[in-house]
Structure 1
């Protein structure tokens, strides 16, 4: 049933993905490198791009072996054969046989395999069957579940190949190309249209055409552009698009991110159109450069893997001490070293929690199914426990704390007071500009409504437009009112607009813009900037006389109306999610490439009061010791590169934290791999999804908080098994040592130990479905081998007390005191040992009173009840002779409840003392 639900969930999701695949590809590449990729690219690549930005257009095309009219098909094929496909290398999945070996390879399975070989060598076929079954089940179950989860994750990230519009020229056009004017640049189009080519087939030298909504398919140099705005927030961390041009205005710029005429793979065109020549493809792009760095990062052991290894070796060391003691004592006291060896091997198997891999995998698999219902897909099962153990979550700001959309936050006059007149002017400017609107215009139109302020749309008609350009950093429209008078409205960067203003509007009156007023206006704009708002100035004038065409020279003598300020607003659910995470012991740190003012403002708005903001430049200047202290004392980190993020995550881990990282861009991938649990979203770039351990179907901290709780439930159930098995097995071995020293025969035969151990393990098979007390999910939980060792030594001897009472009862009450009557003795201890071991499942699963204040889930109740009934049946039924057991007298069953009740009472009293002294994880 659970598998069916999971499959249906994925099927429905993939159906939506197919319906929206074009949008998904845009989103995927829009979030490719969400800060600082330029700083991560090799120096040679940066130099080549800077050189290409400054090259003369014809010289660049000649160097690329290309042409203004594009490549011929034969040229493209030749280049493709040399440089390869336009694909970024990615992590290859393990072959099935290596995955199977990975699932098998753990200390317990290797030890049990050794014990199986020894048992085979000593002809103990029963032990071979029991041990071999446990190893096979745990390995195959883990292999099957992880393979199923991997297939589901692969289905989520499967994207249909997309295309680019490429200009191809016929071979005959080499000498006399047919051309058309394209924004002042001649590009061959005979016939005048481009060819759709799969992106993976692009090669350096290809001339591509880009329009609004297109992905940038490779690193390109702009040849011609008209109002070209590109969203490259993936690289700079800024929410707003930047304008690109056909020329580089500043020859001294060497930072590729600041080049005016270079486009990067992984960005997308928001508005305008362009022609560009491909400079680099595949791994030779910025995208590919960082992807290669991601592949080179060594993931290292996670908190889960390290914890399991420590616990495993703790129990193995204990077994390596106790099993030889049993061999020596029994061999010396009984004189039969062969039988003593078999018995010691059986004790070794009994001490080894061979069901740990199987229980862990089953528990994690159940957790994966539960998380899938909460819109969380688990790629790697180990990550579930890491999710529960996480005590620090590092996350980006955009799309996690915020809505990932621009809204008009304020419209105010020059004194900062709300002004409807400023909104009217901004709306007229945004509505009447040509081409596709950018995000700022969309925000203005959304704030004023589709029809704008009442009656405004009908009152004005567009006359002309003065487009935005990089030099002026402003744009203007001219509209005519109902009375025929023209109104020029300008909006743009504050300083650039102030440069062409000589008056300011206040309370409906125009006043000269004196130096004092100018300083006040700038102070208001700076205050808005300090709040993390992007500020745009709005000005106007009524040109006289009215005419049909206007130019840049008309942007003079303007009246400053005020400013409009934009914000990427916080999600409504973020404060509650942050509060829930804090209540569950998870600290949140914001790692972003965005402006520090914006980051601090958003954090304050969502209730995450930053203890300080650390900038990427500061991170660069600190050594690891200084940065470790700064990381502990700061919650917001701004203007970061991918290397900074990765370094911060590693230092948090080195400080003893279990770190989760939530990111969706290629710039986040190094940190995703460095974290104990990497968390991404289904719309993230491929590299980020590959680096992540957990994929959210909804980018929300509320979804993540639910995953944390489920992770803690999963871990709590695994910990139950470790505690009850370790303490019970230690008690059994302690009892064996006592009995071996004073009883002239084996207190239990090897077959008894193996059957008892198998039944006990089966009783715990339902632990993955057990309930978890609310107290156990309030705080992060992690492996603590020292605590497990203390628990084992504290509770193990409790069962030994009642084992010794059973020995005395069988010896003195029932006369089982000679080798001839050893079967009765062994049968009596077999039943008591199995029942107390099974009852310990309920005693150890909770710190509360079992069956009264905390009741196990019905599958565990049913399973333990069935095993206890089996334990009573075996010596009394037809299998007794084959197992070398015998029927027990009626008096035994009268005394048995007293032993069991005494055991439960003493264990409960010891639990109370233990909780008061050390707590209960």
Structure 2
């Protein structure tokens, strides 16, 4: 029902309510049964036990569970227990990370007003907001939270803050007249009020038109419940990697069994051996290292004022190709600010940030001016402070306003000129005050100065002030409006091209007998002295962050509930768009096109204005349909569905609503868009380091598997295992795991923020990483098998030969890790820049040597002490592949090597 198109009497009649009586008890009971409680329903929450079981569905953990079962089957109990512990550790870490998340609907529910004043049975009474039904008559006053959606039937200077719901930065001046528009946005439905918004000023009466899940906030709650979180790119890649490892393990089993059958070997023995190889093909340390790397990355982001709620989302920013950003409070300061003034024919620019009363006045030539030395400018600013009901407050060095944001902007402009309102009030007594009224669009005060002179000061919309004025101050002249009809229009147009909201200041000296004149007569024959140009300005650091995003190949899209002209101007200032000719799409235009058409236009559109929560959701879906990895920033209730749908939702930590924070994956603790750039860099670094670990770990796995496969392919008769099963587990978890973990804290490479975002479906093995793993793994596996055969040919024991192969592979991986930490070659990175890696390599080598030269190690792994010359030989031979292959790649620029 389009209640905004109906008159108050029509609404009351259709809802069978009465202005004086309210609803009857019979109607209340009937409607409570029909419409239910005026509350937001909550989606069924997952129990902690089910949440823990959900973690066990991680594809990598499934692969490891498969390996553990095979190890139990083949009698490798120690292997099986170690793998089971790894599974539990990973599941518990992610379980505790997610246990506190997914409370969006709870936070949304808490926003509902607990009590309200309602007219029932001819009297006002306070009831629980949950008891409201359509047709109830409610009273709204300053400071109230609107308890339900309603159609206004009476207003007295009523102003409502709808920013959390609509994204509209200005207070909404409410009225009761019916609207003629067919489908205005929520921000334009000025005769309606909506649940969870707040009354900033004035009072009014409204008849409830929707309750509970039927309200606009309820519709958002429904969207949030029906919007499933997508898997992050990292989760998708790990799932694909897990499938690859499963198929690799099955392939190995098939090859071994096939070779064994051709050689006439015992089938049962072949199955047991192939299972051992299949377990060797699985990098047991991968889930643990990925979890720890993400945890360390989350801590680093926290130090940089970005709180990651889910580990899997930490990496996602590194994949982001589009950042959809709300304007108000995210790209802008959410603090109205006078940035330009016109005073008696002269233009001035005003610098400074927010409500802090520091800034410079400069003329059109960029020269700094002192306002007190410019009579008309100084007097216009004094009048702006006197005709003002807002107060500027300072607490611990931080400034804020108490009152209307627009008044705060002109009050701060006066303070920057050294004009203190309180000091002025000591010499100028306010005699009469006529508050701002949306109907007349003006506010006026009569002040008496120290000499007893009375002055009427008026501020309001310039076009309205113009109709009530006779002359315009221009330099040291007074120009009559009849002879200069376009003078003020030109100023309004000039400020309009900059998307500045305008507020005119005028005055009129009064004789004592004129003070008591009726308001309609009093606010006439005015003298216009100046005009303020006001805007919610961009954050300077956000503007720089947008540029850095562009250099990183990331497109920034502004999605706002504000007006198109304002949004376009801010986007132009911040270089989100390059020219005024670029497409800006409004919510009304979005309503006229299909999802398919939006998908086509989305890559060409960088500004969406006057949008609803449904529009934001459609935009995110359209971008994702084009293969984009989408990050969505926001701070209001209206942003929540899109925050959940986006690949990564980013909420403001200071100004963000509880709903936005709970819906998001990442929270900016300083509300600074620039923090996103640091998070993007951190995300890219994390992903690079995970890929480096995968290269290191899988190279070891290929080496282990190939070393054993070579024995089946080359040895005559029944082949011997090149490495014992527990030796393989030791390499995967200890000798390779410790240095690989150190890769996770490696610093980013120099070009990390100059690369284009990787595709969302890009494999871990992109850019020839898979080729490098296979080539290096086969060569290392071949050398390991060669050292194994060398020992056997010397008639040394099987344990000695396996130990020689064991140390060859360990030393090979410890050298290879320095090449794995770069996507170029080890000759391009300082090997001493990662101190933790150096200690990890040293520690890994030492504990591995202990497993060779101590009785405990000999018993646990089946090793035996090596002769010194053999140990030195393994170190030299193991290092050759990395140095030679890296040298060939460096000389011949072979990217695949």
Normalising to structure 2: TM-score of the pair? Answer: 0.84
Deviation for aligned residue 1:282 = 2.3
Answer whether contact 2:104 2:662 (CA < 8 A) is retained. no
Once the two structures are overlaid, the 10-residue window that deviates more, 786-795 or 558-567, is: 786-795
Answer whether contact 2:390 2:407 (CA < 8 A) is retained. no
Residue 83 and residue 57 in structure 1: after superposition, are their counterparts in 2 closer, same or farther (change >3 A)?
closer
Q: Does 1:710 find its partner at 2:682? A: yes
Residue 893 and residue 334 in structure 1: after superposition, are their counterparts in 2 closer, same or farther (change >3 A)?
farther
Answer whether contact 2:699 2:773 (CA < 8 A) is retained. yes
Q: Does 1:55 find its partner at 2:31? A: no
Deviation for aligned residue 1:528 = 0.7
1: CA distance between counterparts of 2:698 and 2:390? Answer: 75
Answer whether contact 1:71 1:167 (CA < 8 A) is retained. no
Residue 728 and residue 478 in structure 1: after superposition, are their counterparts in 2 closer, same or farther (change >3 A)?
same
Answer whether contact 1:119 1:128 (CA < 8 A) is retained. yes
* Aligned residue in 2 for 1:533: 500
* Aligned residue in 1 for 2:636: 665
Match of residue 423, structure 1, among 381, 402, 405: 381
* Aligned residue in 2 for 1:38: none
* Aligned residue in 2 for 1:790: 768
2: CA distance between counterparts of 1:80 and 1:760? Answer: 68
Answer whether contact 1:721 1:767 (CA < 8 A) is retained. no
Match of residue 800, structure 2, among 811, 815, 824: 824
Answer whether contact 1:221 1:262 (CA < 8 A) is retained. yes
Answer whether contact 1:361 1:381 (CA < 8 A) is retained. yes
Deviation for aligned residue 1:370 = 2.6
Deviation for aligned residue 1:530 = 1.2
2: CA distance between counterparts of 1:252 and 1:388? Answer: 44
* Aligned residue in 1 for 2:52: 100
2: CA distance between counterparts of 1:665 and 1:467? Answer: 30
State the structure with bigger RCO (CA 8 A, min sep 6), 1 or 2. 1
* Aligned residue in 1 for 2:404: 438
2: CA distance between counterparts of 1:771 and 1:432? Answer: 52
* Aligned residue in 1 for 2:191: 261
1: CA distance between counterparts of 2:844 and 2:261? Answer: 32
Match of residue 401, structure 1, among 331, 339, 342: 331
* Aligned residue in 2 for 1:326: 256
Q: Deviations over 1:875-906 (max 9, x none)?
A: 44424356444443444224223212323422
Q: Does 1:733 find its partner at 2:662? A: no
Answer whether contact 2:113 2:146 (CA < 8 A) is retained. no
2: CA distance between counterparts of 1:755 and 1:458? Answer: 82
Q: Does 1:845 find its partner at 2:821? A: yes
Q: Does 1:166 find its partner at 2:117? A: yes
Answer whether contact 1:466 1:552 (CA < 8 A) is retained. no
- Aligned residue for 2:204, secondary structure, equals strand
Q: Does 1:305 find its partner at 2:257? A: no
Q: Does 1:500 find its partner at 2:468? A: yes
Match of residue 150, structure 1, among 94, 97, 101: 101
Q: Deviations over 1:500-555 (max 9, x none)?
A: 334333234333323x7223421321221110100123334446652424222444
Pairs aligned (count): 843
- Counterparts of 1:584-663 in structure 2, within 5 Å, are 584-606=552-574, 608=576, 610-611=578-579, 612-616=582-586, 617-621=588-592, 627-628=598-599, 630-663=601-634
- Aligned-residue RMSD, C-alpha: 3.8
1: CA distance between counterparts of 2:843 and 2:453? Answer: 93
- Counterparts of 1:677-692 in structure 2, within 5 Å, are 677-682=648-653, 683-692=655-664
Query: What 5-or-longer segments of structure 1 have no aligned partner?
Result: 1-43, 178-187
Residue 883 and residue 289 in structure 1: after superposition, are their counterparts in 2 closer, same or farther (change >3 A)?
closer
1: CA distance between counterparts of 2:106 and 2:591? Answer: 39
2: CA distance between counterparts of 1:603 and 1:329? Answer: 66
Deviation for aligned residue 1:208 = 4.3
- Aligned residue for 2:458, secondary structure, equals strand
Answer whether contact 1:392 1:589 (CA < 8 A) is retained. yes
Answer whether contact 2:387 2:457 (CA < 8 A) is retained. yes
* Aligned residue in 2 for 1:372: 302
Answer whether contact 1:735 1:803 (CA < 8 A) is retained. yes
Once the two structures are overlaid, the 10-residue window that deviates more, 592-601 or 481-490, is: 481-490
Match of residue 804, structure 1, among 759, 779, 782: 782
Residue 798 and residue 367 in structure 1: after superposition, are their counterparts in 2 closer, same or farther (change >3 A)?
closer
Answer whether contact 2:151 2:208 (CA < 8 A) is retained. yes
* Aligned residue in 2 for 1:872: 849
Residue 615 and residue 894 in structure 1: after superposition, are their counterparts in 2 closer, same or farther (change >3 A)?
closer
Residue 267 and residue 793 in structure 1: after superposition, are their counterparts in 2 closer, same or farther (change >3 A)?
same
Deviation for aligned residue 1:693 = 0.8
Residue 121 and residue 789 in structure 1: after superposition, are their counterparts in 2 closer, same or farther (change >3 A)?
farther
Answer whether contact 2:12 2:135 (CA < 8 A) is retained. no
Answer whether contact 1:299 1:673 (CA < 8 A) is retained. yes
Residue 863 and residue 73 in structure 1: after superposition, are their counterparts in 2 closer, same or farther (change >3 A)?
farther
Deviation for aligned residue 1:741 = 1.2
1: CA distance between counterparts of 2:538 and 2:298? Answer: 30
Answer whether contact 1:432 1:477 (CA < 8 A) is retained. no
Deviation for aligned residue 1:235 = 4.7
Deviation for aligned residue 1:386 = 0.2
Deviation for aligned residue 1:160 = 9.1
Residue 442 and residue 392 in structure 1: after superposition, are their counterparts in 2 closer, same or farther (change >3 A)?
same
- Aligned residue for 2:809, secondary structure, equals helix
Match of residue 177, structure 2, among 236, 241, 248: 248
* Aligned residue in 2 for 1:132: 84
1: CA distance between counterparts of 2:541 and 2:562? Answer: 22
- Aligned residue for 2:628, secondary structure, equals coil
* Aligned residue in 1 for 2:62: 110
1: CA distance between counterparts of 2:82 and 2:423? Answer: 85
* Aligned residue in 1 for 2:372: none
Deviation for aligned residue 1:382 = 1.0
1: CA distance between counterparts of 2:499 and 2:832? Answer: 52
Answer whether contact 2:506 2:527 (CA < 8 A) is retained. yes
Q: Does 1:316 find its partner at 2:269? A: no
Deviation for aligned residue 1:678 = 0.5
* Aligned residue in 1 for 2:354: none
Deviation for aligned residue 1:567 = 1.3
Answer whether contact 1:145 1:365 (CA < 8 A) is retained. no
Q: Does 1:747 find its partner at 2:705? A: no
* Aligned residue in 1 for 2:538: 570
* Aligned residue in 1 for 2:793: 815
Once the two structures are overlaid, the 10-residue window that deviates more, 490-499 or 410-419, is: 410-419
Q: Does 1:292 find its partner at 2:230? A: no
Match of residue 239, structure 1, among 142, 154, 169: 169
Answer whether contact 2:852 2:865 (CA < 8 A) is retained. yes
Q: Deviations over 1:843-898 (max 9, x none)?
A: 31234538971337455444443433343343444243564444434442242232
Normalising to structure 1: TM-score of the pair? Answer: 0.82
Match of residue 488, structure 2, among 499, 521, 535: 521
Deviation for aligned residue 1:793 = 2.9
- Aligned residue for 2:258, secondary structure, equals helix
Deviation for aligned residue 1:271 = 1.6
- Counterparts of 1:438-457 in structure 2, within 5 Å, are 438-449=404-415, 452=420, 457=425
- Aligned residue for 2:144, secondary structure, equals coil
* Aligned residue in 1 for 2:373: none
2: CA distance between counterparts of 1:494 and 1:792? Answer: 67
Deviation for aligned residue 1:626 = 5.6
Answer whether contact 1:414 1:524 (CA < 8 A) is retained. no
Deviation for aligned residue 1:258 = 3.7
Q: Deviations over 1:160-215 (max 9, x none)?
A: 9864442577xxxx5xx6xxxxxxxxxx46xxxx64x6655655555544333332
